[in-house]
């Protein structure tokens, strides 16, 4: 297999981004990354990723794993017995949804290729989340080499978690992220929409105002913490009637916008209310057990996580793969309600597979699907 750098544009070549609920060949995980971002040396995150791989395998999907050389043997050991392929690659962190390739497909020929977007660690020097991200900016091309797919390269900054696609020309995103000057400061809203069209095939952009992770060093409001397509013209959106929930107004506003939106084919969206996660904060123990790291964005050097910081969990941050929904739970009293809520919504169309996730990113963030 080989991966060739292409000089054309995906949309002009007939390639578009499929929906997540379409058939998949594999799902990527990235193991390792900056230990300073995780308490207790990152051991809990690796435990979560093993359980995540088990759930993905249970859905009948193969797992590809990228891992730096210092964790290769550990990864081979902890994922032993699972349906995985392990590839050595230098990494700064572990978020293939955002730093990894986005796979696109030609509907007529069935050929799959990949798009390698510019990654600047959620904002670069302007309140970004990491000071070092050169290795992660190379992750997409390494993933495409591993899977043998030809590559489109662009300097347009885009994270996969900032978009939700229906596979039929519609994308949902947030103004707080894609219009943030720390991503593509020289592009207008119209020019950004054009980039989304020529690289991923989107004909209609539905703009939400903002997401829930808006503090410095976060994602500036990724949409995959708000909603997800579960079928053509069908969306689930986090929702709460509790005004004491810190994200009450955000969820209410996003739900209202989606209910009044149509997709690229002119269909009115069917919007389901998904239980909103009970917000929780970083504990003292977690905060004390992370390493001091070089200052990110405009922030001084210090602990990456502090006691009392929002953990920003979301039940919308799930992965759909081959008829299953790999669903994040957090050890909260809203977990059971959320699982039942989604099971009622999908009504047997998907198998809901709960996996205990971590704060500061969740199931969707940990993964990136390879289109079949």
pLDDT tens for each residue of 2-48: 899 999 999 999 999 999 999 999 999 999 766 656 656 677 788 89
CA atoms of 120 and 104, how far apart (whole Å)? 22
Confidence of residue 204 (pLDDT cuts 50, 70, 90): very high
Identify whether the C-beta of residue 274 lies closer than 8 Å to the C-beta of residue 236.
yes
Average pLDDT for the chain: 92
Mean pLDDT of 276-301: 71
> Per the domain annotation, does 200 fall within a domain?
yes
Q: Is residue 89 part of a domain?
A: yes
**pLDDT given at position 213:** 87
Structural domain contains residue 364: yes
Distance between CA 213 and CA 169 in Å, rounded? 26
Give, in order, the Cα–Cα distances in Å from 356 to each of 81, 111, 250, 257, 323.
21, 35, 25, 30, 20
CA–CA distance from 211 to each of 54, 161, 163, 264, 347 (Å)? 30, 11, 12, 22, 27
> 243 is written with which tokens?
């005004």
Confirm whether 277 is a catalytic residue. no
Judge whether 12 lies within some domain: yes
pLDDT at 127 over 80: no
Per-residue pLDDT, 59: 98
Beta carbons within 10 angstroms of residue 242's beta carbon: 10
Do residues 164 and 205 make contact, with C-beta atoms less than 8 angstroms apart? no
User: What pTM, to 2 d.p., does this model score?
Assistant: 0.94
Cα separation, 172 vs 227, whole angstroms? 9
Q: Which residue matches tokens 């759909």?
A: 320
Q: Please tell me the total count of domains within the chain.
A: 1
Residue 1 lies in a domain: no
**Number of Cβ atoms within 10 Å of the Cβ of 253:** 14
Helix (H) or strand (E) holding 341: helix 335-346
pLDDT digits (tens, 9 = 90+) for 309-368: 777 789 999 999 999 999 999 999 999 999 999 999 999 999 999 999 976 579 999 999
Kindly state the helix (H) or strand (E) to which residue 222 belongs, with its residue range: none
List 227, 238, 341, 365, catalytic entry: 365
* CATH code assigned at 241: 3.75.10.10
Burial (CB < 10 A; 0-12, 13-18, 19+), residue 3, is: buried
What residue numbers bound the domain in which 150 lies? 7-371
């Amino acid at each position: 297999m080989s991966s060739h750098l292409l000089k054309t544009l995906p949309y002009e070549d007939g390639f578009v981004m499929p929906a997540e609920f379409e058939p998949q060949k594999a799902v990527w995980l990235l193991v390792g990354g900056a230990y300073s971002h995780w308490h207790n040396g990152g051991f809990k995150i690796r435990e979560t990723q093993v359980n995540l791989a088990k759930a993905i395998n249970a859905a009948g999907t193969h797992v590809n794993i990228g891992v730096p050389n210092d964790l290769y043997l550990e990864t081979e050991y902890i994922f032993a017995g699972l349906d995985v392929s392990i590839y050595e690659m230098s990494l700064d962190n572990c978020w293939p949804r955002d730093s990894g390739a986005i796979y696109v497909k030609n509907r007529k020929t069935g050929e799959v290729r990949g798009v390698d977007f510019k990654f600047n660690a959620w904002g670069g020097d302007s309140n970004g989340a990491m000071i070092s991200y050169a290795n992660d900016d190379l992750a997409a091309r390494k993933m495409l080499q591993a899977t043998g797919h030809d590559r489109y390269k662009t300097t347009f900054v885009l994270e996969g978690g900032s978009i939700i696609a229906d596979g039929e020309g519609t994308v949902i995103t947030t103004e707080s992220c894609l219009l943030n000057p720390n991503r593509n400061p020289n592009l207008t809203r119209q020019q950004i929409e054009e980039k989304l069209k020529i690289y991923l095939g989107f004909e209609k952009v539905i703009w939400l105002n903002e997401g829930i992770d808006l503090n410095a060093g976060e994602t500036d409001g990724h949409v995959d913490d708000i909603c997800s397509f579960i079928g053509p013209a069908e969306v689930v959106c986090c929702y709460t009637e509790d005004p004491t929930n810190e994200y009450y107004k955000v969820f209410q506003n996003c739900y209202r916008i989606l209910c009044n939106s149509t997709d690229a084919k002119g269909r009115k969206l069917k919007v389901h209310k998904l239980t909103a996660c009970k917000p929780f904060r970083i504990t003292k123990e977690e905060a004390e057990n992370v390493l001091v790291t070089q200052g990110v964005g405009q922030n001084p050097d210090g602990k990456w996580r502090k006691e009392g910081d929002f953990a920003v969990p979301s039940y919308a941050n799930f992965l759909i793969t081959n008829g299953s929904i790999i669903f994040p739970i957090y050890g909260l009293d809203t977990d059971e309600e959320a699982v039942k809520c989604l099971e009622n919504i999908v009504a047997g169309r998907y198998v809901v597979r709960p996996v205990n996730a971590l704060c500061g990113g969740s199931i969707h963030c940990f993964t990136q699907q390879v289109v079949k």
